[in-house]
């Protein structure tokens, strides 16, 4: 099955075979070596040249676990976080903070609009109680790419902490984490890194780690300093998904061999192929080109073709697309081009899509 949803993604046979490595105990030296290997590869991939300035914290859980961990661990007592909300995942950040009864402010935008940096600057100047700013880099609700470097510059200049949900952006979009002084970046194995779901991570600026240790512990499982204190010894405080870690290690090796920039360009090329063919078929994209990411495109449903009909007919031919969310649920469909997929597989999908529309 060709997965054109934004995770889980198709993986290479090499990554799949890594799941078959021998069982080991996570308290043994073999696991410590695996953990340190993954951490080193994450830092080499995403903060090249600044590896000594960050720590990579691994969690067994989905990307949302990493986001929740970063949010809960970033706030001192009595301070607030401001969330830039322009989609389902920005909204999720707000809900996470609210669920833990922490102080949350929001700047809300239409789901087809980017956050306004000037409004953020004004809000931070007016609300000194705001300690941190949270944002989604790639809002997969619509495939919209948020202006991470512009936002990061404002947050840094205003001496606030920037918490970035880069779950569907890392290895798919260009980002200079270290140069932008981003304090916390949440990611996952099962999207553009082309691993399996079940392991996620947070890249944390080392200068922020000591500050975090003085903050209230709001979760036993997800408080980041539990992991940081243990990982120096090559251990994790809770049982990890060992086989998924092996596959993650292999996926990171693939990423580094291909090159992060080269993978981004591959995704960009595939997105362009899809968009050109869809335009030729008069299928209208939800967003203008300058707002679109490299890995997801949202489209209005073809006239007279309900989503379920489109989905089911394509699935029978071996292709899985993705529905809209929220108030876009019955209006759009999404096509993701992340994962270990070939040009031939995308061409096959586009041919199948054209056939389905012609026969509807």
What pLDDT does 176 receive?
Answer: 98
Segment 152-161 shows an average pLDDT of 98
The Cα–Cα gap between 267 and 308 comes to 27
Q: What percent of the chain has pLDDT over 70?
A: 98
Question: Residue 340, Cα to own-chain centre: how many angstroms?
Answer: 17
Global pTM value? 0.96
The Cα–Cα gap between 52 and 48 comes to 10
pLDDT band at 235 (very low <50, low <70, confident <90, very high): confident
pLDDT band at 229 (very low <50, low <70, confident <90, very high): low
pLDDT in tens, 236-246: 899 999 999 99
pLDDT band at 265 (very low <50, low <70, confident <90, very high): very high
Q: 123 is written with which tokens?
A: 């809000």
pLDDT in tens, 20-60: 999 999 999 899 999 999 999 999 999 999 999 999 999 99
Residues ≥6 apart with Cβ < 8 Å to 9: 3, 190, 191, 192, 194, 336, 338, 339, 340
What pLDDT does 359 receive?
Answer: 82
270 has pLDDT over 80:
yes
Q: Which domains does the chain have, with CATH numbers?
A: 13-258 (3.40.640.10), 260-359 (3.90.1150.10)
Q: What percent of the chain has pLDDT over 90?
A: 94
pLDDT in tens, 275-308: 999 999 999 999 999 999 999 999 999 988 999 9
The Cα–Cα gap between 250 and 254 comes to 6
pLDDT in tens, 177-207: 999 999 999 999 999 999 999 999 999 999 9
Cis bond leading into 19, ω under 30°?
A: no
């Amino acid at each position: 099955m060709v997965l054109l949803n934004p995770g889980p993604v198709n993986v290479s046979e090499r990554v799949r075979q890594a799941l078959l490595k021998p069982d080991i105990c996570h308290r043994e030296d073999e696991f410590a070596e695996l953990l340190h290997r993954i951490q080193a590869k994450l830092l080499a991939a995403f903060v090249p040249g600044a590896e000594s300035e960050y720590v990579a914290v691994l969690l067994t859980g989905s990307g949302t676990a990493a986001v929740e961990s970063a949010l809960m661990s970033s706030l001192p007592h009595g301070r607030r976080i401001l969330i830039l909300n322009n989609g389902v995942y920005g909204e999720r950040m707000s809900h996470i903070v609210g669920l833990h009864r922490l102080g949350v402010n929001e700047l809300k935008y239409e789901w087809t609009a980017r956050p306004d940096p000037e409004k953020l600057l004004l809000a931070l100047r007016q609300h000194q109680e705001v300690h941190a700013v949270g944002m989604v880099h790639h809002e997969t609700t619509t495939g919209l790419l948020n202006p991470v470097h512009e936002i990061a510059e404002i947050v840094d200049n205003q001496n606030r902490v920037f918490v970035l949900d880069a779950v569907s952006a890392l290895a798919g979009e260009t980002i200079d984490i270290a140069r932008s002084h981003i304090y916390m970046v949440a990611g996952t194995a099962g999207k553009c890194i082309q691993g399996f779901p079940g392991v996620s991570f947070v890249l944390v600026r080392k200068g922020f780690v000591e500050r975090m240790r003085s903050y209230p512990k709001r979760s036993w499982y997800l408080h980041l300093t539990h992991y940081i204190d243990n990982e120096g010894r090559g251990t994790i405080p809770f049982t990890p998904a060992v086989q998924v870690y092996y596959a993650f290690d292999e996926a990171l090796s693939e990423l580094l061999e291909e090159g992060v920039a080269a993978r981004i360009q591959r995704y960009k090329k595939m997105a362009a192929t899809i968009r050109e063919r869809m335009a030729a078929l008069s299928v209208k994209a939800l967003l203008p080109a300058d707002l679109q990411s490299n890995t997801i495109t949202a489209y209005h449903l073809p006239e007279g073709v309900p989503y379920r009909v489109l989905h089911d007919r394509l699935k029978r031919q071996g292709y899985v697309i993705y529905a809209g969310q929220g108030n876009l649920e019955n209006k759009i469909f999404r096509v993701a081009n992340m994962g270990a997929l070939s040009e031939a597989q995308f061409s096959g999908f586009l041919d199948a899509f054209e056939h389905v529309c012609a026969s509807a």
